[in-house]
Amino acid sequence: MAELVQLEVGRVARLHLDNPPLNLISEELLADLDAALATLEGSAPGDVRVAVVSAGGERAFSVGSDVKAFERHRGAAGRAHFEREEAVTSRLANLPMPTIAAIEGDALGGGLELALACDMRVVSERARLGLPEVRLAVTPGAGGTQRLPRIVGVARAKEMILAGRLLAAGEAEAIGLVNRVVPVGQALHVAHEMAGEIAKLGPLAVRAAKQLIDRALDVGIDAGLAAELEASERIFATDDMLEGARAFIEKRSPRYRGS
């Protein structure tokens, strides 16, 4: 059986869903995605600095679960599947390096939940985004009710989720759901450009900054500031810090190694 997720490892890694035309989130895709995420999770800071998440086909980034499988997930019988999907999505969210979703087609339901687990989102102007689960009398189950309000605010999240609203790309950008809207066919290209800019920077500092920002949403400001202080002390002890300072003084490009 062909793998449904491809991983290209490099300074800018590419994690590619390959289950077109809708890139449905099946058990097989979750297993492949989990294995790819494990590889990224264990990569050295200097080896993988950013990961771009993309999908095959032009129709959809992903529209989530296959509705034909819903009956198999009734009641307690579905708990293992829901736990699996939530765990894999959280693994994506918790990757140490920044992640950018390149969304060329629709990102709906579990597909949008995967995109929400990324740090940034670049979308084609033709894409639609939403969590329309209530239209099928079910609820988001892979972090949508938790991550969406953290990104767009509670009121916007309730409007989208409770009414099952689908947003056009421009509206999604206006409420802060996506970082950039780009012409059709350019989502992956622009995501790679953004990733390339980040990959030039100090990878240890970038990873620490991502962790601090994520932590800021879940702890009080005193705890967040204490974490920031600890991170500053740790990062200022690295060889990359010395390289960055010396490169600045010598007016040259830094050569960061992630150490």
Number of domains the chain contains: 2
| pLDDT on residue 81 | 83
Percentage of residues of the chain with pLDDT beyond 90: 87
At 53, list the tokens. 């998440």
Q: pTM score, two decimals? A: 0.94
> Where in the chain does DSSP place strands (E)?
5-8, 12-17, 50-55, 60-62, 99-103, 106-108, 120-124, 128-130, 166-168, 180-182
Q: Are residues 98 and 215 in the same domain?
A: no
Q: Which residues of the chain, if any, have pLDDT below 70? A: 1-2
Q: Are residues 194 and 228 in the same domain?
A: no
Q: What is the CATH number of the domain that holds 142?
A: 3.90.226.10
Q: What digits encode the pLDDT tens for the residues 173-216?
A: 999 999 999 999 999 999 999 999 999 999 999 999 999 999 99
Q: Are residues 108 and 158 in the same domain?
A: yes
d(CA 160, CA 174): 14
| pLDDT on residue 79 | 84
Q: Are residues 102 and 215 in the same domain?
A: no
Q: Does residue 258 belong to any structural domain of this protein? A: no
Q: Does residue 17 belong to any structural domain of this protein? A: yes
Q: Are residues 90 and 179 in the same domain?
A: yes
Q: Does residue 10 belong to any structural domain of this protein? A: yes
Q: Are residues 213 and 102 in the same domain?
A: no
| pLDDT on residue 241 | 95
Q: Are residues 174 and 72 in the same domain?
A: yes
Q: Are residues 135 and 37 in the same domain?
A: yes
Q: What is the CATH number of the domain that holds 221?
A: 1.10.12.10
Q: Are residues 31 and 156 in the same domain?
A: yes
| pLDDT on residue 1 | 45
Q: What are the residue numbers of the active site?
A: 113, 133
| pLDDT on residue 37 | 97
Residues of the domain holding 244: 203-249
| pLDDT on residue 2 | 64
- In the listed set 175, 199, 223, which residue is the last one of a domain according to the structure? 199
